[in-house]
Amino acid sequence: MAKRVKKNLEGLDRSKLYTIEEACKLVKAKANAKFDETIEVAMNLGVDPRHADQMVRGVCNLPNGSGRKVRVAVFAKGPKAEEAKKAGADIVGAEDLFEVVNKGTIDFDRCIATPDMMGLVGRLGKVLGPRNMMPNPKVGTVTMDVTAAVKAAKGGAVEFRVEKAGIIQAGVGKASFSAEQIVGNVRAFVDAVNKAKPAGAKGTYVKKISLSSSMGPGLKIDLAALNPA
């Protein structure tokens, strides 16, 4: 075991269930890499996403932002294209943007589209789909209110989608955040996932939650302690 890993594990009980406040303080303290590590949450859900009525998908507006610089692309024309530019979108276009993306050049992190552009954007499914970047009205990325969508993406909106094994993972802040800011973001994210519980979910919905930094150890969260007093 590397020295850094051993040092990170000192004082930690990997079998213990930590309160969210304890976990955030410890994860932040153990994030000692030379870069600003991302704080990541992983949730194991009691769903089988192979069934449509058990798919979990949504968006969470982190109250303290993600700490990540997000490049936003918007498919729009005319006044809506101008609106997107004024809102701070990094890339705005229509057929010209389609050609660039269709060739595999994706110089953005979030993709937004006005409804009238989805006939064109839908043809990019093979390119954007595998990267979970396809605009979708359920997460607010297919909308006429491009100003709100761009600002949300820039301000810390995090999309989530359950993976095959029933796991949802997301970055909810940076090690440079205060422990209180991380706690607020984690609570908001867990709340958003709970609200996205699908009708087909049976039995225990949230089975396990763990918190870690990019290079640090993972800590298990006491699910009962997540409920505010």
Ranges of each domain in the chain:
14-66+157-226, 72-155
**Alpha-carbon torsion 27, 193, 106, 155, what sign?**
negative
Structure tokens at 195: 């609200």
CA 29-19-182 angle, 5° bins: 50
Structure tokens at 135: 């605009």
Asked whether the whole model's pTM tops 0.85, one would answer no
Instruction: Please tell me the distance from the alpha carbon of residue 129 to that of residue 12, in angstroms, as a whole number.
Output: 39
pLDDT tens for the 229 residues of the chain, in order? 455 555 566 667 777 899 999 999 999 998 888 999 999 999 999 999 999 999 999 999 999 999 988 999 999 999 999 999 999 999 999 999 999 999 999 999 999 999 999 999 999 999 999 988 999 998 899 999 999 999 999 988 898 999 989 999 999 999 999 999 999 999 999 999 999 999 999 899 999 999 999 988 889 999 987 764 3
CB 159 within 8 A of CB 132: yes
CATH class of 72-155: alpha beta
User: CATH for 14-66+157-226, among 3.40.640.10, 3.40.50.2300, 3.30.190.20, 1.50.10.10?
Assistant: 3.30.190.20
Instruction: Please tell me the distance from the alpha carbon of residue 109 to that of residue 87, in angstroms, as a whole number.
Output: 16
Structure tokens at 84: 């997107």
CB 28 within 8 A of CB 173: no
